[in-house]
Amino acid sequence: MSKKNNAAAGAFEILKQLNGPLSVGIGTGSTTDCFTENFLPLLGEKIKSLYSSSDRTSELLLKLGFQVSEYKPNNMLDVYIDGADEVDDNLNLIKGGGGAHTNEKKLAKQAQRFICIVDDEKLVNTLGKFPLPIEIESEGSEEAISSLAQYSNKIIKRDGLSDNGNHLYDIHNFMIEDPLKIEHEVLSINGVVDVGIFSVDSPTTVVVGSDSGYRLIDS
């Protein structure tokens, strides 16, 4: 099995131990897809409702025959399962490689427990080798970019828009020593919708997949 699949298997083992039926949020990306395709169908009655973080994930869930519940800002989820691009020593994350970090963060914040599934290559001491994703409103994006230039002179716009119809940018060459501070600073910039730094406050378990299996790191 691949490292990603081993991480997804770890999430499956955790869910099997929980009392159901569960409301579960599903993230976006290839690791989450492994979970959705290979393990979610095995959970059967344990799942009460599923919430999706992106159009791409909704498509996959529907294709596999699952129902997707409508997102509401006051929904409480039992568990949120998602991948990440980087995980630091304190379990802060960079997410958004797939451009879905704004909606992913909403679901993560509404969940009582976050299960983050990554392969062992995603573990780092300090976040920042992976370019930091930012979602920015179309109106006023130039002003936001000039404020973000304090962090790096390499900020690259992606082709296409987010599911919310906003622009996506990546800040390169930006080592993030204090993720919480930078998350707050970036969020205070006019026009920024959300940034891919997750300093998640709910209990988090990172499932690290390797060639030989998986191990768990709890917050």
Question: For residues 44 and 21, is the Cβ–Cβ distance under 8 A?
Answer: no
The type of residue at 121 is: E
Could you tell me which of 53, 57, 133 has the C-alpha nearest to residue 97? Answer: 133
CB nearer to ligand 5RP: pick between 44 and 165: 165
**Contact partners, residue 149, CB within 8 Å, separation at least 6:** 155
CA angle 44, 111, 208 (to 5 degrees): 75
Residue matched to tokens 């992976």: 130
Least CB distance to ligand 5RP at residue 21 (A): 25
Nearer to ligand 5RP, 100 or 171 (CB): 100
Provide the minimum distance between the beta carbon of 28 and ligand 5RP in the complex, in angstroms, as a whole number. 4
Among 36, 52, 81, 83, binds ligand 5RP (CB under 6 A): 83
Residues 10-39 close enough to bind ligand 5RP by CB under 6 A? 27-31
Q: Quick check: 95 binds ligand 5RP (CB under 6 A)?
A: yes
Question: Under the criterion CB under 6 A, does residue 191 sit at the interface with ligand 5RP?
Answer: no
Q: Judge whether 86 counts as a catalytic residue.
A: no
Under rule CB under 6 A, residue 209 binds ligand 5RP = no
Among 82, 86, 170, 183, binds ligand 5RP (CB under 6 A): 82
Kindly list the distances between the CA atom of residue 86 and the CA atoms of 20, 72, 130, 185, in Å, as whole numbers in the listed order. 30, 28, 7, 20
Identify residue 153 by its one-letter amino acid code.
N
What residues act catalytically? 104
Q: Which residues bind ligand 5RP (CB under 6 A)?
A: 27-31, 82-85, 95-101, 104
